[in-house]
Amino acid sequence: MGWGAKESGEEVTSFLEKNNIPFVQTLPAKGTISDDHPNSLGNVGKLGTKPAYEAMKNADLLILLGSNYPYLPYLPNKGQAKCIQVDLKAENLGKRYSVTTAIQADVYDVVHALNKKGVLRDNKSFLQACQKNMDNWNKWMQEKRELDTTPISPESMVAYIDQTAPDDLVYSIDVGTSTSWAARFLHVKRNQKFAISAWLGTMGCGLPGAIAGQIVFPKRRVLSLIGDGAFSMVMQDFVTAVKYKLPIIFVIINNQKLAFIEYEQQSAGQLNYEINLADIDFGKFAQAAGGIGITVKSNDKFKEALDQAYQTKDKPVLINAYVEDNAPLPGKIVLDEAKGFAKFGQEYLENYWKIPELPPFKDILRQFF
């Protein structure tokens, strides 16, 4: 389900529950149904989960509700599944996957009409298989949530943000590994907001998005997750949040590099090029600009800083979090990516005469098979 289903969460939930259907939400639609719903398989695609990928590759029916999801390798294979697509825009119907039944209508109206028909299918076996798969995935993700390292592992940091998030929190997520960690470790709830730059993937969107979010929702808390590269593109506007006394919480994922590009280059079989960034003391910067700035390097200190940030009501708080450079591996490594990593490994060896630092082999295997 995509952005077009955003306002129909309740109706769609009842349809999925009644008919034993597992679901995947696109990133812009994240939170339409709470991520911790038992039928949820998370997101699909590079940032998604392996169970979502496997469900797509085993499905005999794909129902696309208000979604123009563009990454075809992550949908069922050509000819594998029948497809019902509901979209307001005629030009979206059949655009990505060959459609068996195209319905040009509002998602709510269609799902509401289907719900009136009662139970349409009572077979639970596909849902149960997906849920079992998801249990395994969640156990593995739990290991990552509990990582306790110095510098901080981003997975555990984002897991703490998730755990302590107010029910009506507004998230503004930037582009980079921030997007990967948010997609995977935030269980966005129906009353929370989740703003990202989905189609364009525009770095630097986190800070202005947070300012807009805080102005539109003055009574709610706003938290922005931003990479150091992205923040340094727009950081002067932190002062705008100070000027207007906006108590936004900025969490800077400080790895002194363009980490997302590091892995993108590797998975494309290229040697890394121009990905390192200077080490900026963003904490001092925030203080100089009139806000609160806290630099942290461990889980404990991060937790303290975040708790303090939620106590602050009249100015922005920036948490400059030094993190480990963990690979935001895709939920499922597709063959091209595996070939890319292999080519990168070989070229690195030939150029530098040493084995490159790659994500743990255990992680790669788990995501490949």
Which residues contribute to the site for ligand TPP (CB under 6 A)? 175-178, 201-204, 227-230, 253, 255, 257-261
Nearest to 105 by CA among 92, 116, 124, 118: 92
175 binds, among Mg ion, ligand TPP, none (CB under 5 to 8 A by kind): ligand TPP
Distance in Å, CB of 272 to ligand TPP, minimum: 12
260 binds, among ligand TPP, Mg ion, none (CB under 5 to 8 A by kind): ligand TPP
Nearest to 130 by CA among 57, 185, 182: 57
Residue nearest to ligand TPP (CB): 227
> Are the beta carbons of 235 and 282 closer than 8 angstroms?
yes
Distance in Å, CB of 365 to ligand TPP, minimum: 24
Q: Which is nearer to ligand TPP, 202 or 272 (CB)?
A: 202
Compute CA distances 207 → 192, 219, 271, 283, 324, whole Å. Answer: 18, 18, 31, 15, 23
Distance in Å, CB of 285 to ligand TPP, minimum: 15
Q: Which is nearer to ligand TPP, 68 or 255 (CB)?
A: 255
Q: Which is nearer to ligand TPP, 274 or 314 (CB)?
A: 274
Q: Which helix (H) or strand (E) holds 114?
A: helix 107-116
How far is residue 325's CA from residue 205's CA, in Å, rounded to a whole number?
A: 22
131 binds, among Mg ion, ligand TPP, none (CB under 5 to 8 A by kind): none
Q: Which is nearer to ligand TPP, 178 or 267 (CB)?
A: 178
Residues numbered 197 to 256 that lie near Mg ion (CB under 5 A) are: 227-229, 255
How far is residue 368's CA from residue 331's CA, in Å, rounded to a whole number?
A: 9
> Are the beta carbons of 260 and 329 closer than 8 angstroms?
no
Q: Which is nearer to Mg ion, 157 or 246 (CB)?
A: 157
How far is residue 175's CA from residue 49's CA, in Å, rounded to a whole number?
A: 19
How far is residue 187's CA from residue 209's CA, in Å, rounded to a whole number?
A: 20
How far is residue 221's CA from residue 168's CA, in Å, rounded to a whole number?
A: 8
Distance in Å, CB of 196 to ligand TPP, minimum: 11
Distance in Å, CB of 256 to Mg ion, minimum: 7
Q: Which is nearer to ligand TPP, 39 or 153 (CB)?
A: 153
Nearest to 283 by CA among 325, 226, 321: 321
Residues numbered 273 to 332 that lie near Mg ion (CB under 5 A) are: none
Q: Which is nearer to Mg ion, 102 or 261 (CB)?
A: 261
Distance in Å, CB of 257 to ligand TPP, minimum: 5
Distance in Å, CB of 324 to ligand TPP, minimum: 11
Residue nearest to Mg ion (CB): 227
Distance in Å, CB of 316 to ligand TPP, minimum: 18
Read off the amino acid at residue 78.
K
Helix (H, G, I), strand (E, B) or coil at 99: coil
Q: Which is nearer to Mg ion, 260 or 344 (CB)?
A: 260
> Are the beta carbons of 188 and 27 closer than 8 angstroms?
no
- Check residue 45 for interaction with Mg ion (CB under 5 A): no
> Are the beta carbons of 173 and 179 closer than 8 angstroms?
yes
Q: Which residues bind Mg ion (CB under 5 A)?
A: 227-229, 255, 259
